[in-house]
């Protein structure tokens, strides 16, 4: 169900890797990643968060591996996880080796933190033997001091060079099962760094604005960077980095991919008019009530809440289901066709009931079940409101007729 799937620019080709059973790059669907905030040694608490992340749309989950207890926790977590687990490694290569022993399906190494060539090669060699991919996770905030000095700061060229140097170490042990990130907390720097990385590497790219902060500003920063690149065809997996419950990261990532047409919709897509002087109801309150009621039901439909019946059903005609208000009544419509007129105080309940039926029975069945006379009743409401709104509303209809007449007279645009 839903609108025609308009997609972004053709995606740039990359090599494909597999993190457990999840393909990344090479034309595979863009994946969503998040990270647990629990202590990894807390096996039950971490697993509970992993399951919540998976339910919210995460395809991959990263867990920190910063001590022996965390590595032991991973050994117990990995077999019970619903999604592949990636171990986050910072300063100690021993933790990477322990995470591999624990059975993780991926590693993330920060070249700015793990710097010794021999240790990097040892980890890459062990990952190669186990068939485990590594993300080279470059971060503008932890760039190697030599690169910072050489390039005069954390520039796109510096970030990409950091990844290139790490790749050279990997190549010496014949390891190329790699994805790359070049994150920054500055959105413009992040965008330019990934553009350069896309021109430089064939490896899949993991997108993210690091340390974006709490919502709503963090969501805006993450979306500005990630969506810009995805719309250009750049990026194979994404992560929002929010100072919030990580479930918000996973949910935001999934929703972003759905609205860009890069993943099939699994949940509710609620559209609503921004409200104006023509609105016959409190659109914000009704939209919030619908979001709260339907948001967690995993109904893959687009639902519209419109403030007036004059333009509402027409403007939202592509929605699977919608409601528009007028004269203390709600016009319930499916694909722009009025199927029922209900009292205003029953609008939300009627919408919820119809949503469930629409998903279980299908569009054609629900259109066939439309109330007799609903369209005529709705048109009478619409006409009465047009008359009540006075010259401005009626003038718009007159203008439409004049425009149609011009084209009917053979006047065509040049």
403: in domain = no
Whether 40 shows a pLDDT value over 60: the answer reads yes
Whether the CB-CB separation of 323 and 292 falls below 8 Å is answered with no
Tokens representing 347? 């609008």
Whether 390 shows a pLDDT value over 60: the answer reads no
**Of the residues 201, 228, 259, the one at which a domain ends:** 259
Q: Are residues 193 and 285 in the same domain?
A: no
Q: Are residues 110 and 169 in the same domain?
A: yes
Q: Is 382 left (phi over 0), alpha (psi -120 to 50) or beta?
A: alpha
Per-residue pLDDT at 3: 45
Over range 289-311, report the average pLDDT.
Answer: 80
Q: Are residues 338 and 364 in the same domain?
A: yes
pLDDT band (50, 70, 90) for residue 6: low
Cβ contacts of residue 146 below 8 Å, gap of 6+? Answer: none
Domain CATH number, residue 332: 3.30.413.10
Q: Are residues 176 and 146 in the same domain?
A: yes
Exposure of 310 by Cβ count < 10 A (0-12 exposed, 13-18 middle, 19+ buried)? buried
413: in domain = no
Per-residue pLDDT at 285: 83
Return the DSSP state at 371. P
**Of the residues 259, 288, 323, the one at which a domain ends:** 259
324: in domain = yes
Domain CATH number, residue 200: 3.20.20.20
Tokens representing 295? 């948001």
pLDDT band (50, 70, 90) for residue 309: low
User: In sequence order, which ranges of 89-130 are alpha helices (DSSP H)?
Assistant: 93-102, 117-130
Q: Are residues 344 and 312 in the same domain?
A: yes
User: Using CA atoms, how far apart are residues 126 and 147, in angstroms rounded to an integer?
Assistant: 27
3: in domain = no
Please give the residue range of the domain that contains residue 310.
269-397
Whether the CB-CB separation of 94 and 70 falls below 8 Å is answered with no
412: in domain = no
Q: Are residues 249 and 300 in the same domain?
A: no
Domain count, the chain: 2
Per-residue pLDDT at 281: 66
Whether 413 shows a pLDDT value over 60: the answer reads no
208: in domain = yes
Counting residues of the chain whose pLDDT is more than 70, the rounded percentage is 88
**36-40, 52-56, 110-114, 118-122, range with the lowest pLDDT:** 110-114
Q: Which helix (H) or strand (E) holds 361?
A: helix 347-361
Q: Are residues 171 and 122 in the same domain?
A: yes
4: in domain = no
Q: Collapse the DSSP code of 242 into the 3-class scheme (helix H, G, I; strand E, B; otherwise coil) and give the result.
A: strand
Q: Are residues 222 and 129 in the same domain?
A: yes
Whether 4 shows a pLDDT value over 50: the answer reads no
Whether 304 shows a pLDDT value over 80: the answer reads yes
Omega cis (within 30) before 237: no
Q: Are residues 249 and 302 in the same domain?
A: no
Q: Are residues 95 and 199 in the same domain?
A: yes
Q: How many CB atoms lie within 10 A of CB 393?
A: 16
411: in domain = no
């Amino acid at each position: 169900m839903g609108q025609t799937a308009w997609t972004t620019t053709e995606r740039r080709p990359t090599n494909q890797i597999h993190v457990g059973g999840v393909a990344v790059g090479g034309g595979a669907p863009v994946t969503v990643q998040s990270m647990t905030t629990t202590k990894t040694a807390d096996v039950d608490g971490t697993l509970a968060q992993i399951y919540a992340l998976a339910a919210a749309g995460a395809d991959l989950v990263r867990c920190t591996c910063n001590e022996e207890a965390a590595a032991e926790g991973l050994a117990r977590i990995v077999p019970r996880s619903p999604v592949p687990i990636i171990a986050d490694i910072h300063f100690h290569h021993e933790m990477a080796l322990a995470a591999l022993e624990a059975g993780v399906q991926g590693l993330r190494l920060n070249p700015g933190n793990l710097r010794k060539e021999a240790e990097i090669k040892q980890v890459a060699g062990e990952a190669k033997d186990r068939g485990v991919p590594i993300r080279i996770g470059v971060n503008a905030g932890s760039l190697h001091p030599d690169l910072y000095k050489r390039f005069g700061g954390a520039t796109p060229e510096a970030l990409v060079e950091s990844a290139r140097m790490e790749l050279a170490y990997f190549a010496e042990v014949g390891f190329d099962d790699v994805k790359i990130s070049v994150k920054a907390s500055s959105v413009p720097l992040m965008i330019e760094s990934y553009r350069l990385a896309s021109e430089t590497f064939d490896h899949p790219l993991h997108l993210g604005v690091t340390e974006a902060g709490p919502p709503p500003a963090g969501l805006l920063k993450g979306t500005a960077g990630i969506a810009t690149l995805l719309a250009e065809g750049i990026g194979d997996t994404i992560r929002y980095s929010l100072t919030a419950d990580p479930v918000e990261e996973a949910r935001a990532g999934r929703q972003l991919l759905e609205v860009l047409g890069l993943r099939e919709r699994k949940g509710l897509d609620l559209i609503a008019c921004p409200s104006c002087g023509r609105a016959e109801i409190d659109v914000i309150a009704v939209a919030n009530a619908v979001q709260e009621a339907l948001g967690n039901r995993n109904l893959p439909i687009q639902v519209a809440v419109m403030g007036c019946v004059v333009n509402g059903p027409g403007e939202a005609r592509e929605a699977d289901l919608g409601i528009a208000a007028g004269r203390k009544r709600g016009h319930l419509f499916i694909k722009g066709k009025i199927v029922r007129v209900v009292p205003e105080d029953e609008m939300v309940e009627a919408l919820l009931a119809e949503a469930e039926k629409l998903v279980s029975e299908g569009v054609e069945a629900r259109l066939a079940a439309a109330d007799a006379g609903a369209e005529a009743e709705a048109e009478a409401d619409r006409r009465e409101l047009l008359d009540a709104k006075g010259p401005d509303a009626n003038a718009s209809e007159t203008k439409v007729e004049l425009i149609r007449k011009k084209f009917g007279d053979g006047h065509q645009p040049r």
